[in-house]
Amino acid sequence: MVTFSEWHEVFPNAGYVVSLVDWLVHRAEVIVIEGESYRV
């Protein structure tokens, strides 16, 4: 598993990450969950 600190090794160019996020968001349905988090 790759941690956030190692993302620059997987995606050496920021353009890759922007393209990937854009592709995911374009095809995703955003669900807003309101309320208190149980993880806190």
Mean pLDDT of 12-38: 82
Helices (H), 1-40: 7-10, 14-26
What the block records as the tokens of 18 is: 């922007």
Residue 2 clears pLDDT 70, i.e. is over it: no
DSSP strands (E only) in the chain: none
Mean pLDDT of 20-39: 82
Q: Residues 12-34: what's their mean pLDDT?
A: 81
User: pLDDT tier at 22 (50, 70, 90 boundaries)?
Assistant: confident
- Whether the per-residue pLDDT at 18 is higher than 70: the answer is yes
Question: Domain locations in the chain?
Answer: 1-40
Indicate the average pLDDT of the chain.
78
